[in-house]
Chain A
Amino acid sequence: MEICGGQTHTIMKYNIDELLPDKINLIHGPGCPVCVTPLEMIDKAIAIASREDVIFTSFGDMLRVPGSTLDLLGVKANGGDVRMVYSPLDAVKIAEENPNKKVVFFAVGFETTAPANAMAAIQAKQKGLKNFSILVSHVLVPPAIEALLDSENSKIKGFLAAGHVCTVMGFHEYIPLSKKYNIPIIVTGFEPIDILQGIYELIKQLENNRAEVFNAYGRVVSKEGNIPAQKLLSEVFEIVDRKWRGIGVIPKSGFKLKDIYSEFDAEKLFDVGEIEQQESQFCISGEILQGIKKPQECSAFGKECTPEHPLGAPMVSSEGACAAYFHYYKRIN
């Protein structure tokens, strides 16, 4: 299983299956931050973004993800001030420039994006900003791997771990997991050649009945990871149980702001903590995100559900498995 949705896209885009023997079956993993953000969190974002006193900022990828009635681009079309930013620090700047507006940043993502978001909270505190807040929906990779392996349905023989996440966190967290479940974990990059190397290292271990962590992305990743970034994380965030879209609550699988940063917690400031939503009954994103089913096995795939009219986030995100299969799989095969 490749953990990261970016890796799934590389695999599908470059049709890497074409180079592999039939026996090797790549299963996409849950590593699409947009996809695993629960529906109710999108609805919370939409509720906040719809307010007249708010400038809502987000990475571009989140804007098209459907909530239960519309998406953030829909909020923008209805007159909401929704802005795409490349960095949460840009959102801090917007807050400084617009003292009469409440500026909210939608902090979505895995360990990769969390340090910059932590830095935004730190900067906002240093600058004494009273009009900046963060809607936090951060999730963590190792608990998700554990949840997948604990599932009875798991057929996973090895993992290609997400190189970008390991850039921040290192790969030491994976060593006990590999031992506990007796499974090889290869830290893998995102270029086609990186993916092929990851697969090669994984197959070598499987053929020799080994189960170790191997770093095949050494040009970027070290065992310890980025220590200053990790310090930022522990300064700002604490680990909590998090709900994953289509999967449910995974213990200790996400971040929330620590109490000393709670003045920046958008969920509290805008009183949206109580919004609860049920997922679409037609969307099988839970099974997709756990790799139990492939996108083309969904009855709505390419019919009721397309990138133009997505039922679930995996069809719309640039890292979503359904989007990857829709764009690259259907016509080659």
Chain B
Amino acid sequence: MNLNCPIPISDYPKVTLAHGGGGTLSNQLIQKMFFSQFDNELLNTTHDGAIFNVPSNRLAFTTDSFVVKPIFFPGGNIGELAINGTVNDLAMCGAIPKFISVGFIIEEGFDMEDLWKIVQSIKVASEKAGVKVVTGDTKVVDKGKGDKIFINTSGIGIVVDGVNINPKNCKPGDKIILSGRIADHGIAIMSAREGLQFETTVESDTAPLNELVSSILDVSKNIKVLRDPTRGGISSALNEIAASANVGIKIQEEKIPVSEQVDSACEILGLDPLYIANEGKLIAIVPPNDAEKILEAMRRNDYGKEAEIIGEVVSDHPKTVVMKTTIGTTRIVDMISGEQLPRIC
């Protein structure tokens, strides 16, 4: 990896409006910073868009915008988040991610060195996920009209033959598998944003999940739902599934992995980990007969080592998620309204 920023820092330590103006400086930025790193034959045609052949399979297409603050956080930065987020959205469609577009909206005065770090992360994350950045765009907005850097990524993936991911396929008895411990990303962001001092830093779980998905589709094509529980946490994901499939969902608190640090942070701040964002976890809803082999396949993958069967789909209480608590009662896991705000005391 080339760790030296190729733009002459002494000349342009900050991004200027001219870097988005379409002239020489724009061209220099694009050539030296982006093309040199994302280098591939589709991008290198320097056309207005990428032109490519696709097999006759179904395609999945998704887009996501990243405005995370702070842009560098424990365990990652906005660049790899932007790749992993779109890779994961494609993977949750049962697709193999192939091509990605990256659009930058940069605030005038943004550090060129930081942009370089972000570009490096995008390069590493896209290589890790096996996707190509084939087209992109850069805009620079006036100082004060943005917040450092926003990134939009869109992606195209090829849906695996024989796979039909659709929450409406859920039936009572289906098992719910969670790929690992929850709420790391949200707490990592919050700790960096608010300057909370933890004895050990909680790191974001940002990760590409396409290989994990491929490995479970290899053992069963009968997976009914795949969902990455990002904003709103596993609560929102499960509530959305229950609502769209018109089924009830019952989960067990003791089966849901939460790290001790995250648990403590949530207790101090008055937050519920079920509502906190993840960036490298998935929920799979699978037929009961396939559950064990899917769980085993998941646990063999680096990003699924702590996977657990956390509950099942039920015919009772349609559109509602309930949880058997560790003290033996049953509680409702409601959809959150707005954002969780830390309590006063």
- Show the binding face of A for B, using Cβ within 8 Å: 6, 13-16, 18-19, 33-34, 59-64, 84-86, 90, 108-110, 112-113, 164, 192-193, 196, 306-308, 317-319, 327-328, 331-332
Contacts and interface: CB of A to CB of B under 8 A. Distances in A.
> Most chain-A CB neighbours within 10 Å: which of B195, B329, B338?
B329
Nearest to A318: B343
A164 B268 CA distance: 12
B298 to A, nearest CB: 29
Given A19-B329, A306-B337, 20 more contacts: A13-B331, A14-B331, A15-B329, A15-B330, A15-B331, A16-B329, A19-B328, A59-B342, A60-B342, A61-B343, A192-B326, A193-B327, A307-B337, A317-B343, A318-B340, A318-B343, A327-B332, A328-B331, A332-B322, A332-B331
Interface residues of B, number: 25
B45 interface: no
A33 B344 contact: yes
Given A15-B325, A15-B331, A331-B317, A6 B345 contact: yes
B344 A61 contact: yes
A331 B196 CA distance: 36
Nearest to A193: B327
A140 to B, nearest CB: 13
Given A108-B344, A319-B343, A6 B270 contact: yes
B11 interface: no
A163 B337 CA distance: 28
Interface in B303-345: 317, 320, 322, 325-332, 334, 337-338, 340-345
Interface in B151-208: 194-196
Contacts of B342: 59-61, 84, 86
B327 A14 contact: yes
B334 A61 contact: no
Given A15-B325, A192-B325, A110 B341 contact: no
A61 B345 CA distance: 10
Interface in B4-56: none
A62 B344 CA distance: 8
B338 A307 contact: yes
B344 A113 contact: yes
Contacts, number: 86
Contacts of B317: 331
A196 B327 contact: yes
A193 B325 CA distance: 12
Contact of A110 (B196, B269, B327, B345): B345
Interface in B55-72: none
Nearest to B326: A192
A64 B269 CA distance: 17
Given A86-B196, A328-B334, A64 B341 contact: yes
24 contacts: A6-B270, A13-B331, A14-B325, A14-B327, A15-B325, A15-B330, A19-B327, A34-B344, A60-B341, A61-B342, A61-B344, A64-B338, A84-B342, A86-B269, A90-B195, A164-B345, A192-B326, A318-B270, A318-B343, A319-B270, A327-B334, A331-B317, A331-B332, A332-B332
A18 B195 CA distance: 39
Interface of B: 194-196, 269-270, 317, 320, 322, 325-332, 334, 337-338, 340-345
Nearest to B325: A14
B320 A331 contact: yes
> Most chain-B CB neighbours within 10 Å: which of A6, A306, A327?
A327
Contacts of A61: 341-344
B123 to A, nearest CB: 35
Contacts of A86: 194-196, 269, 342
A229 to B, nearest CB: 13
Contacts of B343: 6, 59-61, 317-319
A18 B327 CA distance: 11
A327 B331 CA distance: 10
Contacts of A14: 325, 327, 329, 331
Nearest to B253: A14
B46 to A, nearest CB: 42
Contacts of B325: 14-15, 192
A62 B343 CA distance: 9
A307 B338 CA distance: 9
A219 B208 CA distance: 43
A332 B194 CA distance: 36
B330 to A, nearest CB: 6
Nearest to A33: B344
A59 B344 contact: yes
Given A15-B329, A86-B196, A328-B332, A308 B344 contact: no
A112 B345 contact: yes
Nearest to A307: B337
A90 B196 CA distance: 11
Nearest to A37: B344
* A-B interface, 10 closest residue pairs, ranked by CB to CB distance from nearest: A60-B341, A112-B345, A307-B337, A15-B329, A318-B343, A327-B334, A18-B329, A60-B342, A59-B344, A192-B327
A299 to B, nearest CB: 21
A308 B339 CA distance: 11
Contacts of A64: 338, 341
A331 B270 CA distance: 23
